[in-house]
Structure 1
Protein backbone atom coordinates (compact mmCIF):
# COMPACT_ATOMS: atom_id res chain seq x y z
CA UNK A 1 0.00 0.00 0.00
CA UNK A 2 1.49 3.29 -1.08
CA UNK A 3 2.05 5.95 1.60
CA UNK A 4 2.96 8.76 -0.82
CA UNK A 5 0.83 11.84 0.05
CA UNK A 6 -1.21 13.36 -2.73
CA UNK A 7 -3.60 16.26 -3.14
CA UNK A 8 -7.07 16.33 -4.54
CA UNK A 9 -7.62 17.24 -8.14
CA UNK A 10 -8.77 20.79 -7.34
CA UNK A 11 -6.02 21.61 -4.85
CA UNK A 12 -3.10 23.81 -5.78
CA UNK A 13 0.45 23.59 -4.50
CA UNK A 14 1.34 26.24 -1.91
CA UNK A 15 3.29 29.17 -3.29
CA UNK A 16 6.75 29.80 -1.91
CA UNK A 17 7.02 32.78 0.42
CA UNK A 18 8.06 35.95 -1.43
CA UNK A 19 11.20 37.60 -0.17
CA UNK A 20 10.49 41.16 0.96
CA UNK A 21 11.74 43.79 -1.43
CA UNK A 22 13.96 46.70 -0.42
CA UNK A 23 10.95 49.00 -0.58
CA UNK A 24 8.91 46.68 1.66
CA UNK A 25 11.71 46.61 4.21
CA UNK A 26 12.01 50.41 4.14
CA UNK A 27 8.26 50.92 4.59
CA UNK A 28 8.20 48.40 7.43
CA UNK A 29 11.10 50.11 9.18
CA UNK A 30 9.54 53.56 8.75
CA UNK A 31 6.27 52.33 10.27
CA UNK A 32 8.21 50.98 13.26
CA UNK A 33 9.91 54.35 13.80
CA UNK A 34 7.41 57.05 14.88
CA UNK A 35 10.03 59.80 14.71
CA UNK A 36 11.00 58.97 11.12
CA UNK A 37 7.36 58.75 10.11
CA UNK A 38 6.64 62.09 11.77
CA UNK A 39 9.61 63.65 9.96
CA UNK A 40 8.40 62.34 6.60
CA UNK A 41 4.89 63.64 7.19
CA UNK A 42 6.12 67.08 8.23
CA UNK A 43 8.52 67.29 5.28
CA UNK A 44 5.74 66.27 2.88
CA UNK A 45 3.39 68.92 4.31
CA UNK A 46 6.04 71.63 4.11
CA UNK A 47 6.96 70.74 0.53
CA UNK A 48 3.31 70.78 -0.54
CA UNK A 49 2.81 74.16 1.12
CA UNK A 50 5.83 75.82 -0.50
CA UNK A 51 5.35 74.25 -3.94
CA UNK A 52 1.67 75.22 -3.99
CA UNK A 53 2.23 78.54 -2.22
CA UNK A 54 -0.15 80.50 -4.49
CA UNK A 55 -2.92 78.06 -3.53
CA UNK A 56 -2.40 78.12 0.24
CA UNK A 57 -1.36 81.76 0.69
CA UNK A 58 -4.24 84.03 1.70
CA UNK A 59 -2.62 87.29 0.57
CA UNK A 60 -0.02 88.62 -1.80
CA UNK A 61 3.20 88.29 0.24
CA UNK A 62 4.48 91.64 -1.01
CA UNK A 63 1.20 93.59 -0.76
CA UNK A 64 1.55 96.57 1.62
CA UNK A 65 -1.37 97.66 3.80
CA UNK A 66 -0.30 100.33 6.27
CA UNK A 67 -3.74 100.27 7.88
CA UNK A 68 -3.01 96.72 9.13
CA UNK A 69 0.53 97.51 10.24
CA UNK A 70 1.80 95.11 12.97
CA UNK A 71 -1.64 93.56 13.43
CA UNK A 72 -1.84 90.62 15.83
CA UNK A 73 -2.71 87.10 14.57
CA UNK A 74 -6.38 86.86 13.63
CA UNK A 75 -8.73 85.08 11.24
CA UNK A 76 -7.82 87.65 8.59
CA UNK A 77 -4.07 87.40 9.14
CA UNK A 78 -3.26 84.00 10.67
CA UNK A 79 0.29 84.95 11.68
CA UNK A 80 -0.29 88.69 12.00
CA UNK A 81 1.36 91.34 9.82
CA UNK A 82 4.75 93.05 9.62
CA UNK A 83 5.81 96.69 9.92
CA UNK A 84 4.21 97.64 6.57
CA UNK A 85 1.11 95.48 6.84
CA UNK A 86 2.24 92.49 4.79
CA UNK A 87 0.59 89.18 5.73
CA UNK A 88 3.13 87.08 7.64
CA UNK A 89 1.37 83.76 6.99
CA UNK A 90 1.71 84.24 3.24
CA UNK A 91 5.30 85.47 3.60
CA UNK A 92 6.25 82.44 5.71
CA UNK A 93 4.87 80.09 3.03
CA UNK A 94 6.63 81.93 0.21
CA UNK A 95 9.74 82.28 2.36
CA UNK A 96 9.92 78.50 2.56
CA UNK A 97 10.54 78.45 -1.17
CA UNK A 98 13.71 80.49 -0.69
CA UNK A 99 15.05 78.64 2.34
CA UNK A 100 14.32 75.11 1.12
CA UNK A 101 15.56 75.87 -2.39
CA UNK A 102 18.88 76.97 -0.88
CA UNK A 103 19.05 73.71 1.06
CA UNK A 104 18.53 71.55 -2.02
CA UNK A 105 20.90 73.67 -4.10
CA UNK A 106 23.70 73.42 -1.55
CA UNK A 107 23.47 69.66 -0.99
CA UNK A 108 23.23 69.04 -4.75
CA UNK A 109 26.27 71.15 -5.61
CA UNK A 110 28.40 70.18 -2.60
CA UNK A 111 27.36 66.54 -2.72
CA UNK A 112 27.93 66.13 -6.47
CA UNK A 113 31.32 67.84 -6.56
CA UNK A 114 32.46 66.34 -3.26
CA UNK A 115 31.43 62.79 -4.15
CA UNK A 116 33.14 62.90 -7.55
CA UNK A 117 36.31 64.53 -6.22
CA UNK A 118 36.53 62.25 -3.19
CA UNK A 119 35.92 59.09 -5.23
CA UNK A 120 38.53 60.17 -7.78
CA UNK A 121 41.01 60.96 -5.04
CA UNK A 122 40.57 57.60 -3.36
CA UNK A 123 40.72 55.72 -6.65
CA UNK A 124 43.76 57.55 -8.01
CA UNK A 125 45.81 57.42 -4.81
CA UNK A 126 49.44 58.55 -4.73
CA UNK A 127 50.36 62.21 -5.15
CA UNK A 128 46.97 63.11 -6.60
CA UNK A 129 45.24 61.85 -3.48
CA UNK A 130 47.75 63.63 -1.23
CA UNK A 131 47.37 67.00 -2.96
CA UNK A 132 43.56 66.87 -2.98
CA UNK A 133 43.24 65.81 0.65
CA UNK A 134 45.79 68.30 1.97
CA UNK A 135 43.88 71.09 0.23
CA UNK A 136 40.65 69.83 1.82
CA UNK A 137 42.37 69.71 5.21
CA UNK A 138 43.35 73.36 4.86
CA UNK A 139 39.73 74.33 4.22
CA UNK A 140 38.47 72.17 7.08
CA UNK A 141 40.99 73.73 9.45
CA UNK A 142 39.15 77.07 9.21
CA UNK A 143 35.93 77.32 11.26
CA UNK A 144 33.17 76.70 8.73
CA UNK A 145 30.86 79.50 9.86
CA UNK A 146 33.67 82.05 9.76
CA UNK A 147 34.69 80.92 6.28
CA UNK A 148 31.10 80.98 5.03
CA UNK A 149 30.61 84.51 6.35
CA UNK A 150 33.87 85.67 4.75
CA UNK A 151 32.96 84.18 1.36
CA UNK A 152 29.42 85.53 1.49
CA UNK A 153 30.70 89.01 2.36
CA UNK A 154 33.28 88.86 -0.43
CA UNK A 155 30.71 87.75 -3.00
CA UNK A 156 28.18 90.33 -1.87
CA UNK A 157 25.02 90.10 0.23
CA UNK A 158 22.40 88.03 -1.60
CA UNK A 159 20.73 84.67 -1.14
CA UNK A 160 22.42 83.21 -4.23
CA UNK A 161 25.88 84.23 -3.02
CA UNK A 162 25.09 82.87 0.44
CA UNK A 163 24.13 79.53 -1.10
CA UNK A 164 27.34 79.43 -3.13
CA UNK A 165 29.43 80.21 -0.03
CA UNK A 166 27.78 77.41 1.96
CA UNK A 167 28.17 74.94 -0.92
CA UNK A 168 31.88 75.71 -1.34
CA UNK A 169 32.57 75.22 2.35
CA UNK A 170 30.57 71.98 2.53
CA UNK A 171 32.45 70.30 -0.35
CA UNK A 172 35.43 69.07 1.74
CA UNK A 173 33.15 67.10 4.08
CA UNK A 174 31.74 65.15 1.14
CA UNK A 175 35.23 64.69 -0.32
CA UNK A 176 36.46 63.04 2.87
CA UNK A 177 33.35 60.88 3.17
CA UNK A 178 33.50 59.74 -0.47
CA UNK A 179 37.22 59.07 -0.30
CA UNK A 180 36.86 56.95 2.82
CA UNK A 181 34.14 54.86 1.22
CA UNK A 182 36.17 54.53 -1.99
CA UNK A 183 39.14 53.17 -0.07
CA UNK A 184 36.84 50.45 1.27
CA UNK A 185 35.64 49.33 -2.18
CA UNK A 186 38.89 49.90 -4.07
CA UNK A 187 40.20 46.42 -3.24
CA UNK A 188 36.96 44.62 -4.02
CA UNK A 189 37.25 41.84 -6.66
CA UNK A 190 34.97 43.57 -9.18
CA UNK A 191 37.09 46.73 -9.08
CA UNK A 192 40.34 44.78 -9.29
CA UNK A 193 38.97 42.99 -12.34
CA UNK A 194 38.08 46.33 -13.93
CA UNK A 195 41.67 47.51 -13.46
CA UNK A 196 43.06 44.26 -14.88
CA UNK A 197 40.99 44.78 -18.01
CA UNK A 198 42.30 48.36 -18.19
CA UNK A 199 38.97 50.05 -17.64
CA UNK A 200 39.23 53.83 -17.66
CA UNK A 201 39.09 55.79 -14.43
CA UNK A 202 35.75 57.28 -15.45
CA UNK A 203 34.36 53.79 -16.17
CA UNK A 204 35.47 52.59 -12.73
CA UNK A 205 33.94 55.63 -11.07
CA UNK A 206 30.68 55.46 -12.99
CA UNK A 207 29.98 51.73 -12.82
CA UNK A 208 31.85 50.40 -9.79
CA UNK A 209 32.71 53.10 -7.25
CA UNK A 210 29.91 55.67 -7.13
CA UNK A 211 27.01 53.16 -7.03
CA UNK A 212 28.63 51.44 -4.05
CA UNK A 213 29.42 54.52 -1.97
CA UNK A 214 26.16 56.42 -2.36
CA UNK A 215 24.38 55.07 0.74
CA UNK A 216 26.34 57.07 3.37
CA UNK A 217 26.51 60.07 1.04
CA UNK A 218 22.72 60.02 0.62
CA UNK A 219 22.29 59.98 4.39
CA UNK A 220 24.68 62.92 4.75
CA UNK A 221 22.80 64.83 2.05
CA UNK A 222 19.53 64.42 3.93
CA UNK A 223 21.04 65.45 7.26
CA UNK A 224 22.74 68.47 5.65
CA UNK A 225 19.43 69.80 4.34
CA UNK A 226 18.35 70.89 7.80
CA UNK A 227 21.79 72.29 8.66
CA UNK A 228 21.93 74.22 5.39
CA UNK A 229 18.55 75.83 6.02
CA UNK A 230 19.83 76.94 9.43
CA UNK A 231 23.04 78.35 7.91
CA UNK A 232 21.21 80.20 5.14
CA UNK A 233 18.81 81.68 7.67
CA UNK A 234 21.72 82.71 9.88
CA UNK A 235 23.40 84.52 6.97
CA UNK A 236 20.16 86.29 6.15
CA UNK A 237 19.77 87.20 9.83
CA UNK A 238 23.11 89.04 9.86
CA UNK A 239 22.46 90.70 6.49
CA UNK A 240 24.60 88.51 4.21
CA UNK A 241 21.74 86.50 2.71
CA UNK A 242 18.31 87.46 1.41
CA UNK A 243 17.60 91.16 1.28
CA UNK A 244 14.33 93.05 1.73
CA UNK A 245 11.66 92.83 0.42
CA UNK A 246 12.39 89.13 -0.35
CA UNK A 247 10.34 86.82 1.84
CA UNK A 248 12.90 84.58 3.57
CA UNK A 249 12.74 83.08 7.04
CA UNK A 250 16.07 84.34 8.37
CA UNK A 251 15.54 87.86 7.06
CA UNK A 252 12.06 87.96 8.58
CA UNK A 253 13.40 86.93 11.98
CA UNK A 254 16.09 89.60 11.69
CA UNK A 255 13.58 92.36 10.99
CA UNK A 256 11.15 91.05 13.58
CA UNK A 257 13.68 91.28 16.41
CA UNK A 258 13.14 95.05 16.40
CA UNK A 259 9.54 94.44 17.48
CA UNK A 260 10.06 91.34 19.63
CA UNK A 261 8.82 92.86 22.91
CA UNK A 262 5.39 93.94 21.70
CA UNK A 263 4.86 92.10 18.39
CA UNK A 264 6.25 88.65 19.27
CA UNK A 265 4.58 86.96 16.30
CA UNK A 266 6.81 88.74 13.78
CA UNK A 267 9.87 86.66 14.69
CA UNK A 268 8.12 83.71 16.30
CA UNK A 269 6.43 82.21 13.26
CA UNK A 270 9.37 82.40 10.82
CA UNK A 271 11.63 81.08 13.59
CA UNK A 272 9.21 78.24 14.25
CA UNK A 273 9.21 77.40 10.53
CA UNK A 274 13.02 77.16 10.57
CA UNK A 275 12.97 74.94 13.66
CA UNK A 276 10.28 72.57 12.41
CA UNK A 277 11.76 72.22 8.92
CA UNK A 278 15.32 71.59 10.10
CA UNK A 279 14.14 69.10 12.72
CA UNK A 280 11.97 67.23 10.20
CA UNK A 281 14.82 66.82 7.71
CA UNK A 282 17.11 65.62 10.51
CA UNK A 283 14.52 63.02 11.57
CA UNK A 284 14.27 61.76 8.00
CA UNK A 285 18.06 61.61 7.75
CA UNK A 286 18.32 59.62 10.98
CA UNK A 287 15.72 57.14 9.75
CA UNK A 288 17.46 56.80 6.40
CA UNK A 289 20.77 56.18 8.16
CA UNK A 290 19.21 53.40 10.26
CA UNK A 291 17.84 51.75 7.13
CA UNK A 292 21.05 51.96 5.09
CA UNK A 293 23.34 50.94 7.97
CA UNK A 294 24.24 47.25 7.47
CA UNK A 295 24.52 46.77 11.23
CA UNK A 296 20.93 47.95 11.65
CA UNK A 297 19.67 45.68 8.87
CA UNK A 298 21.42 42.66 10.39
CA UNK A 299 19.50 42.98 13.66
Structure 2
Protein backbone atom coordinates (compact mmCIF):
# COMPACT_ATOMS: atom_id res chain seq x y z
CA UNK A 1 0.00 0.00 0.00
CA UNK A 2 1.44 3.36 -0.97
CA UNK A 3 1.09 6.49 1.11
CA UNK A 4 1.14 9.89 -0.53
CA UNK A 5 2.64 12.67 1.53
CA UNK A 6 1.89 16.27 0.63
CA UNK A 7 4.17 19.07 1.84
CA UNK A 8 3.11 22.64 2.24
CA UNK A 9 4.97 24.69 -0.33
CA UNK A 10 5.77 28.34 0.35
CA UNK A 11 4.57 30.72 -2.37
CA UNK A 12 7.04 31.45 -5.15
CA UNK A 13 8.08 34.97 -6.04
CA UNK A 14 6.01 34.74 -9.23
CA UNK A 15 2.93 33.92 -7.14
CA UNK A 16 3.61 36.84 -4.80
CA UNK A 17 4.07 39.25 -7.71
CA UNK A 18 0.89 37.99 -9.36
CA UNK A 19 -1.03 38.54 -6.12
CA UNK A 20 0.47 42.02 -5.75
CA UNK A 21 -0.51 42.91 -9.32
CA UNK A 22 -4.04 41.62 -8.68
CA UNK A 23 -4.39 43.76 -5.55
CA UNK A 24 -3.13 46.85 -7.39
CA UNK A 25 -5.56 46.30 -10.28
CA UNK A 26 -8.43 46.21 -7.80
CA UNK A 27 -7.83 49.87 -6.89
CA UNK A 28 -8.27 52.43 -9.72
CA UNK A 29 -6.69 55.17 -7.58
CA UNK A 30 -3.60 53.04 -6.93
CA UNK A 31 -3.37 52.29 -10.65
CA UNK A 32 -3.59 56.02 -11.39
CA UNK A 33 -0.88 56.77 -8.82
CA UNK A 34 1.36 54.04 -10.25
CA UNK A 35 0.89 55.38 -13.78
CA UNK A 36 1.68 58.96 -12.74
CA UNK A 37 4.77 58.05 -10.71
CA UNK A 38 6.05 55.78 -13.48
CA UNK A 39 5.67 58.59 -16.02
CA UNK A 40 7.37 61.10 -13.70
CA UNK A 41 10.28 58.74 -13.00
CA UNK A 42 10.73 58.06 -16.72
CA UNK A 43 10.78 61.82 -17.40
CA UNK A 44 13.35 62.26 -14.63
CA UNK A 45 15.62 59.51 -15.96
CA UNK A 46 15.36 60.36 -19.66
CA UNK A 47 15.19 64.16 -19.32
CA UNK A 48 18.43 64.73 -21.34
CA UNK A 49 16.90 62.85 -24.30
CA UNK A 50 13.32 64.14 -23.97
CA UNK A 51 14.21 67.83 -23.63
CA UNK A 52 13.83 69.81 -26.84
CA UNK A 53 16.36 72.51 -25.83
CA UNK A 54 19.27 73.09 -23.50
CA UNK A 55 17.56 74.06 -20.21
CA UNK A 56 20.15 76.77 -19.50
CA UNK A 57 20.54 78.17 -23.04
CA UNK A 58 19.69 81.89 -23.21
CA UNK A 59 17.75 83.36 -26.13
CA UNK A 60 16.77 86.95 -25.40
CA UNK A 61 15.13 87.30 -28.81
CA UNK A 62 12.41 84.86 -27.66
CA UNK A 63 12.04 85.93 -24.04
CA UNK A 64 8.59 85.30 -22.50
CA UNK A 65 7.32 83.66 -25.69
CA UNK A 66 3.94 81.91 -25.27
CA UNK A 67 3.51 78.15 -25.78
CA UNK A 68 4.05 77.17 -29.41
CA UNK A 69 5.22 74.28 -31.59
CA UNK A 70 8.82 75.39 -30.98
CA UNK A 71 8.45 75.90 -27.23
CA UNK A 72 5.64 73.69 -25.90
CA UNK A 73 5.51 75.39 -22.49
CA UNK A 74 6.76 78.80 -23.65
CA UNK A 75 9.95 80.53 -22.50
CA UNK A 76 11.05 82.45 -19.42
CA UNK A 77 12.38 85.97 -18.95
CA UNK A 78 15.74 85.15 -20.57
CA UNK A 79 14.40 82.91 -23.35
CA UNK A 80 15.04 79.52 -21.76
CA UNK A 81 12.67 76.73 -22.82
CA UNK A 82 10.28 76.01 -19.92
CA UNK A 83 9.39 72.49 -21.14
CA UNK A 84 13.05 71.48 -20.99
CA UNK A 85 13.50 73.13 -17.61
CA UNK A 86 10.44 71.33 -16.21
CA UNK A 87 11.91 68.01 -17.38
CA UNK A 88 15.31 68.73 -15.84
CA UNK A 89 13.62 70.17 -12.77
CA UNK A 90 12.16 66.74 -12.06
CA UNK A 91 15.69 65.51 -11.41
CA UNK A 92 16.02 68.05 -8.61
CA UNK A 93 12.54 68.03 -7.06
CA UNK A 94 11.72 64.32 -7.38
CA UNK A 95 15.32 63.34 -6.68
CA UNK A 96 15.23 65.26 -3.40
CA UNK A 97 11.93 63.63 -2.44
CA UNK A 98 13.24 60.12 -3.08
CA UNK A 99 16.54 60.76 -1.29
CA UNK A 100 14.86 62.31 1.75
CA UNK A 101 12.32 59.50 2.09
CA UNK A 102 14.83 56.66 1.79
CA UNK A 103 17.57 58.31 3.88
CA UNK A 104 15.25 59.29 6.73
CA UNK A 105 13.64 55.83 6.69
CA UNK A 106 17.03 54.08 6.85
CA UNK A 107 18.55 56.31 9.54
CA UNK A 108 15.39 56.71 11.60
CA UNK A 109 14.47 53.03 11.27
CA UNK A 110 17.86 51.79 12.49
CA UNK A 111 18.01 54.37 15.29
CA UNK A 112 14.51 53.46 16.45
CA UNK A 113 15.25 49.72 16.35
CA UNK A 114 18.43 50.11 18.41
CA UNK A 115 16.66 52.45 20.82
CA UNK A 116 13.90 49.91 21.42
CA UNK A 117 16.29 46.97 21.77
CA UNK A 118 18.91 48.66 23.98
CA UNK A 119 16.47 50.60 26.16
CA UNK A 120 17.62 52.37 29.34
CA UNK A 121 19.32 55.75 29.20
CA UNK A 122 20.12 55.44 25.51
CA UNK A 123 16.45 54.98 24.70
CA UNK A 124 15.42 57.86 26.99
CA UNK A 125 18.01 60.22 25.45
CA UNK A 126 17.04 59.40 21.86
CA UNK A 127 13.33 59.76 22.51
CA UNK A 128 13.70 63.09 24.33
CA UNK A 129 15.65 64.45 21.36
CA UNK A 130 12.95 63.20 18.99
CA UNK A 131 10.21 64.75 21.16
CA UNK A 132 11.98 68.12 21.04
CA UNK A 133 12.18 67.99 17.23
CA UNK A 134 8.56 66.90 16.90
CA UNK A 135 7.38 69.73 19.16
CA UNK A 136 8.30 72.28 16.46
CA UNK A 137 6.19 72.47 13.25
CA UNK A 138 8.02 70.58 10.52
CA UNK A 139 8.08 73.31 7.89
CA UNK A 140 9.25 75.94 10.39
CA UNK A 141 12.10 73.71 11.56
CA UNK A 142 13.07 72.86 7.99
CA UNK A 143 13.24 76.54 7.01
CA UNK A 144 15.27 77.37 10.11
CA UNK A 145 17.78 74.58 9.44
CA UNK A 146 18.03 75.41 5.73
CA UNK A 147 18.60 79.10 6.50
CA UNK A 148 21.25 78.24 9.10
CA UNK A 149 23.06 75.83 6.76
CA UNK A 150 22.90 78.15 3.76
CA UNK A 151 20.83 78.28 0.59
CA UNK A 152 21.66 75.28 -1.59
CA UNK A 153 19.97 72.12 -2.84
CA UNK A 154 22.17 69.86 -0.70
CA UNK A 155 21.48 71.83 2.48
CA UNK A 156 17.74 71.80 1.75
CA UNK A 157 17.92 68.04 1.28
CA UNK A 158 19.84 67.66 4.54
CA UNK A 159 17.40 69.85 6.48
CA UNK A 160 14.33 67.93 5.27
CA UNK A 161 16.00 64.59 6.03
CA UNK A 162 16.87 65.61 9.60
CA UNK A 163 13.30 66.77 10.27
CA UNK A 164 11.72 63.60 8.83
CA UNK A 165 13.88 61.21 10.91
CA UNK A 166 11.93 61.46 14.23
CA UNK A 167 8.71 60.02 12.79
CA UNK A 168 10.59 56.91 11.64
CA UNK A 169 12.41 56.63 14.97
CA UNK A 170 9.15 56.57 16.92
CA UNK A 171 7.54 54.10 14.53
CA UNK A 172 10.52 51.70 14.53
CA UNK A 173 10.93 51.96 18.31
CA UNK A 174 7.28 51.05 18.85
CA UNK A 175 7.70 48.00 16.65
CA UNK A 176 10.92 47.03 18.45
CA UNK A 177 9.29 47.25 21.89
CA UNK A 178 6.47 44.92 20.82
CA UNK A 179 8.67 42.47 18.90
CA UNK A 180 11.28 42.02 21.63
CA UNK A 181 8.58 40.65 23.95
CA UNK A 182 7.80 37.76 21.63
CA UNK A 183 8.84 34.22 22.51
CA UNK A 184 11.25 33.59 19.65
CA UNK A 185 13.10 36.83 20.43
CA UNK A 186 13.45 35.91 24.10
CA UNK A 187 14.69 32.47 23.04
CA UNK A 188 17.35 34.07 20.84
CA UNK A 189 18.46 36.24 23.77
CA UNK A 190 18.69 33.15 25.96
CA UNK A 191 21.07 31.54 23.47
CA UNK A 192 23.31 34.63 23.54
CA UNK A 193 22.20 36.56 20.45
CA UNK A 194 23.84 40.01 20.33
CA UNK A 195 22.08 43.31 19.81
CA UNK A 196 23.06 43.62 16.16
CA UNK A 197 21.75 40.09 15.54
CA UNK A 198 18.50 41.00 17.28
CA UNK A 199 18.05 44.19 15.27
CA UNK A 200 19.00 42.66 11.90
CA UNK A 201 17.31 39.27 12.07
CA UNK A 202 14.25 39.96 14.18
CA UNK A 203 13.34 43.59 14.82
CA UNK A 204 14.22 45.32 11.52
CA UNK A 205 12.66 42.65 9.32
CA UNK A 206 9.39 42.63 11.23
CA UNK A 207 9.30 46.44 11.43
CA UNK A 208 9.77 46.81 7.65
CA UNK A 209 6.09 46.84 6.51
CA UNK A 210 5.00 49.88 8.60
CA UNK A 211 8.24 51.68 7.70
CA UNK A 212 7.61 51.08 4.00
CA UNK A 213 4.09 52.44 4.37
CA UNK A 214 5.43 55.59 6.02
CA UNK A 215 8.14 55.91 3.36
CA UNK A 216 5.66 55.67 0.48
CA UNK A 217 3.49 58.36 2.04
CA UNK A 218 6.46 60.65 2.75
CA UNK A 219 7.80 60.95 -0.80
CA UNK A 220 5.02 63.30 -1.90
CA UNK A 221 5.34 65.51 1.17
CA UNK A 222 9.14 65.63 0.76
CA UNK A 223 8.70 66.85 -2.82
CA UNK A 224 6.35 69.58 -1.59
CA UNK A 225 8.81 70.61 1.15
CA UNK A 226 11.70 70.76 -1.33
CA UNK A 227 9.59 72.88 -3.69
CA UNK A 228 8.61 75.17 -0.81
CA UNK A 229 12.28 75.74 0.05
CA UNK A 230 13.04 76.44 -3.61
CA UNK A 231 10.11 78.88 -3.71
CA UNK A 232 11.49 80.99 -0.85
CA UNK A 233 15.06 80.85 -2.18
CA UNK A 234 16.52 78.29 0.24
CA UNK A 235 16.72 75.41 -2.24
CA UNK A 236 18.38 75.08 -5.64
CA UNK A 237 19.95 78.28 -6.94
CA UNK A 238 20.05 79.76 -10.44
CA UNK A 239 20.61 78.60 -13.12
CA UNK A 240 19.62 75.13 -11.83
CA UNK A 241 16.13 74.16 -12.96
CA UNK A 242 13.91 73.43 -9.94
CA UNK A 243 10.13 73.54 -9.84
CA UNK A 244 9.69 75.62 -6.70
CA UNK A 245 12.21 78.23 -7.83
CA UNK A 246 10.57 78.41 -11.26
CA UNK A 247 7.16 79.07 -9.69
CA UNK A 248 8.68 81.77 -7.48
CA UNK A 249 10.26 83.59 -10.42
CA UNK A 250 7.21 83.12 -12.63
CA UNK A 251 4.85 84.79 -10.16
CA UNK A 252 6.41 88.15 -11.12
CA UNK A 253 5.02 87.65 -14.65
CA UNK A 254 1.81 85.78 -13.84
CA UNK A 255 -0.62 88.47 -15.09
CA UNK A 256 0.72 88.67 -18.65
CA UNK A 257 2.71 85.44 -18.95
CA UNK A 258 0.63 82.78 -17.20
CA UNK A 259 2.61 79.83 -18.59
CA UNK A 260 5.81 80.66 -16.69
CA UNK A 261 4.66 79.49 -13.26
CA UNK A 262 1.64 77.40 -14.35
CA UNK A 263 3.51 74.46 -15.86
CA UNK A 264 6.05 74.02 -13.02
CA UNK A 265 3.15 74.35 -10.56
CA UNK A 266 1.18 71.67 -12.40
CA UNK A 267 4.26 69.43 -12.33
CA UNK A 268 4.43 69.77 -8.53
CA UNK A 269 0.68 69.12 -8.17
CA UNK A 270 0.57 66.08 -10.45
CA UNK A 271 3.73 64.52 -9.03
CA UNK A 272 2.73 64.96 -5.38
CA UNK A 273 -0.76 63.63 -6.13
CA UNK A 274 0.65 60.58 -7.92
CA UNK A 275 3.00 59.65 -5.08
CA UNK A 276 0.25 60.21 -2.49
CA UNK A 277 -2.17 57.95 -4.39
CA UNK A 278 0.51 55.29 -4.70
CA UNK A 279 1.36 55.65 -1.01
CA UNK A 280 -2.27 55.13 -0.06
CA UNK A 281 -2.32 51.99 -2.18
CA UNK A 282 0.85 50.64 -0.56
CA UNK A 283 -0.66 51.34 2.86
CA UNK A 284 -3.78 49.37 1.95
CA UNK A 285 -1.66 46.46 0.70
CA UNK A 286 0.65 46.24 3.72
CA UNK A 287 -1.77 47.19 6.50
CA UNK A 288 -3.38 44.00 7.88
CA UNK A 289 -6.42 46.01 8.99
CA UNK A 290 -7.20 46.75 5.34
CA UNK A 291 -7.25 43.09 4.29
CA UNK A 292 -10.63 41.93 3.09
CA UNK A 293 -12.03 45.41 2.63
Q: What TM-score bracket applies, with the shorter chain setting the length?
A: over 0.9
Greater Cα offset, 126-135 or 51-60: 126-135
What per-residue deviation string (whole Å, max 9, x for no partner) do you get for residues 111-138 of structure 1? 1110001011111122221111111101
Matched, 1:271 2:265: yes
Residue 159 of structure 2 aligns with which residue? 165
Q: TM-score, normalised by structure 2?
A: 0.94
Residue 80 of structure 1 aligns with which residue? 74
Residue 108 of structure 2 aligns with which residue? 114
Q: Which of 242, 246, 259 is 1:248 aligned to? A: 242
Q: Secondary structure at the match of 2:54?
A: coil
Greater Cα offset, 204-213 or 120-129: 120-129
> What's the CA shift for 1:19?
6.6
What per-residue deviation string (whole Å, max 9, x for no partner) do you get for residues 204-257 of structure 1? 111111011010111111111100000000001001111111100000000000
CA–CA distance in structure 2, aligned partners of residues 275 and 184 of structure 1: 38
Q: Which of 39, 43, 46 is 1:45 aligned to? A: 39
- Number of aligned residue pairs: give it: 284
> What's the CA shift for 1:297?
2.4
Residue 208 of structure 1 aligns with which residue? 202
CA–CA distance in structure 1, aligned partners of residues 10 and 75 of structure 2: 57
CA separation of 1:218 and 1:18: change in aligned 2, threshold 3 A: closer
What per-residue deviation string (whole Å, max 9, x for no partner) do you get for residues 164-214 of structure 1? 000011111110011111122111122111111111100111111101101
Q: Which of 39, 57, 63 is 2:51 aligned to? A: 57
Residue 283 of structure 2 aligns with which residue? 289
> What's the CA shift for 1:17?
12
> What's the CA shift for 1:22?
2.6
Q: Secondary structure at the match of 1:199?
A: coil
Matched, 1:221 2:215: yes
Q: Secondary structure at the match of 2:252?
A: helix
Q: TM-score, normalised by structure 1?
A: 0.92
Ranges in structure 1 where 5+ consecutive residues have no aligned partner: 1-15
Residue 10 of structure 1 aligns with which residue? none
CA–CA distance in structure 1, aligned partners of residues 208 and 261 of structure 2: 38
Greater Cα offset, 133-142 or 88-97: 133-142
CA–CA distance in structure 2, aligned partners of residues 54 and 109 of structure 1: 26
Residue 4 of structure 1 aligns with which residue? none
